[in-house]
Amino acid sequence: MKIAFTTKSGEIIDQHFGMSDSFHIWEIGPDEAHYLETVTVGIHGDDEEDKISARADLLTECAIVYTMQIGGPAAAKLVARKIHPMKTNTEVPVAEIVGKLQEVLRGTPPPWLRKAMNKDQATSFLED
């Protein structure tokens, strides 16, 4: 599944979702993980709603976005697009998150993660 990270360097999750000017996209599975690409946020006006939508639109193929911080309206926009926002609250190495995610995928993922893995079939992350 595709996972996005808010990071300046590609090494550390160190950006707020609404302030990040790019997202590093990874393909992560239980046994393999690799960096795919960096997508850049273009200029989308001064309206906060436009900025949030522009970022969310870039990530439509992603199942999860890991970010240091994210506001409620931005998180709601992601969830509406079946993208699960994950807030770290502190700087965390991307490699650490990738490893932990792979470990969970090799076991029995929680219901929200199973839905994220099959995001095209899910109607909502809140359903059982």
pLDDT score for 124: 46
Report yes or no: 101 and 28 within 8 Å, Cβ to Cβ: yes
pLDDT score for 42: 74
Q: In terms of residues, how long is the chain?
A: 128
pLDDT score for 101: 94
Domain 2-117: what homologous superfamily?
A: Dinitrogenase iron-molybdenum cofactor biosynthesis domain (3.30.420.130)
Q: CA-CA distances (angstroms) from residue 56 to 74, 99, 107?
A: 8, 25, 29
pLDDT score for 90: 96
The whole-model pTM stands at 0.86
The domain ranges of the chain are 2-117
pLDDT score for 118: 77
* Residue spans of beta strands (DSSP E) within the chain: 2-5, 12-13, 22-28, 33-40, 64-67, 84-87, 92-93
Residue type present at position 116:
A
Contacts of residue 88, Cβ cutoff 8 Å, sequence gap at least 6: 13, 66, 67, 68, 97
Break the chain down into helix, strand, coil percent, rounded to 5.
30, 25, 45
Kindly give the confidence (pLDDT) of every residue in the chain, 128 residues in length, as a single tens digit, with 9 standing for 90 and above.
999 999 999 999 999 998 888 999 999 999 999 999 999 987 655 555 677 888 888 899 999 999 999 999 999 999 999 999 999 999 999 999 999 999 999 988 888 888 877 766 544 444 44
pLDDT score for 125: 46
Pick the closest to residue 58 from 116, 123, 4 (CA basis). Answer: 4
